[in-house]
Amino acid sequence: FKIGLGYDFHVLEEGRPLMIGGVEIPFHKGEKAHSDGDVLLHAIIDALLGASGVGGDIGELFPPSDVAWKGMPSSKLINIAWQKIKLHGWRLGNIDCVVIMEEPKLTPYRKTIIKSISNLLEADDSCVFVKFKTHEKTGDIGKGEAIASFVTALLYK
């Protein structure tokens, strides 16, 4: 058994799509990024990479300086990472996720987000859970200027 921890943070920008776990959430702001900026998928990728120890983190696997990844959907990035991890014999135990943003309320999208992530990782819905927190109106996140995510992953073989 191996556990991994992933974290990601993005600034929010007017007119960008808000991507969370491969799901586009209707909102007037979204993550500023060179990819689609999906903060949750990025944290999941780093948690899985950390647990598996297959080498590198998300920034090394998909360097922001490499134009090949510009505008690439994060669903594609997690697919590439997961196939690589699976080749090393790892299977998913579970992932547990926290997304922190002030608004909009994300709870109505939980089932859709869980389904999206479990599809991407070829896992049962019961292997994925996502919790949503606010930042009590303080700091960059609390002022609605940023979004963050923490993820733990358990892998086994």
Q: Which residues contact Mg ion by CB under 5 A?
A: 8, 42
Closest CB 16 distance from Mg ion, rounded Å:
13
Closest CB 32 distance from Mg ion, rounded Å:
10
Nearer to Mg ion, 37 or 90 (CB): 37
Closest CB 8 distance from Mg ion, rounded Å:
4
Nearer to Mg ion, 43 or 155 (CB): 43
What is the full DSSP assignment across 26-68? P-SEEE-SSS---HHHHHHHHHHHHHHTSS--HHHHS-TT-GG
Distances (CA, A) of 2 to 25, 48, 93, 128: 32, 9, 9, 16
Maximal CA-CA distance, the chain: 43
Nearer to Mg ion, 33 or 128 (CB): 33
